[in-house]
């Protein structure tokens, strides 16, 4: 599971690092869509993705990290890869591919987050339930 979490985080860290180094058209795109703090939003989002990736990849806070990644990825995907508003066929196809790839990443993040949440809940329940606690001590 640890290797899977680490591999899931690679695209987030790479993309966020690129956005921090050179945000390119992202600030203009954020401003054009009317988002507040358009100049700073891409860097804040990139920072959130890196922190979320560290939390998920290391397993230190996979639920919080997973929620952070899911929210930032969903918002970024809708703003940056809005293929439905592209007029040119090639640009529409490229944005549609990126949109669908991000949907796949989002699915991986959600599965990882729900799994971590279930594991945390199972541990909490086993600590509160005498029968489960006695079985855990016996094994």
Q: List, for residues 18-60, the tens digit of each pLDDT value.
A: 999 998 888 888 888 888 887 888 999 999 999 999 999 999 9
Output 52 or 129, whichever has higher pLDDT: 52
Q: What is the pLDDT of residue 71?
A: 96
Domain that includes residue 72, residue range: 2-138
pTM beyond cutoff 0.85: no
Check whether 77 has a pLDDT greater than 80: yes
User: If you ran DSSP here, which 8-state letter would residue 60 be given?
Assistant: S
Check whether 121 has a pLDDT greater than 80: no
| Domains of the chain: total | 1
Which pLDDT band, with edges at 50, 70 and 90, does 137 fall under? Answer: low
């Amino acid at each position: 599971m640890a290797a899977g979490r680490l591999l899931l985080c690679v695209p987030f860290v790479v993309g966020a690092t690129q956005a921090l180094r050179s945000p390119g058209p992202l600030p203009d795109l954020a401003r054009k869509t009317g988002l507040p703090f358009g100049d700073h939003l891409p860097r804040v989002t990139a920072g959130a993705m890196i922190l979320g990736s560290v939390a998920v990849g290391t397993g230190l806070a996979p639920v919080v990290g997973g929620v952070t990644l899911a929210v930032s990825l969903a918002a970024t995907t809708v703003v940056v890869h809005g293929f439905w508003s592209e007029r040119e066929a090639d640009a529409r196809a490229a944005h549609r591919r990126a949109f669908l790839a991000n949907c796949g990443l989002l699915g991986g993040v959600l599965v990882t987050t729900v799994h971590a949440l279930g594991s945390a809940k199972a541990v909490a329940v086993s600590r509160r339930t005498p029968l489960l606690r006695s079985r855990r001590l016996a094994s």
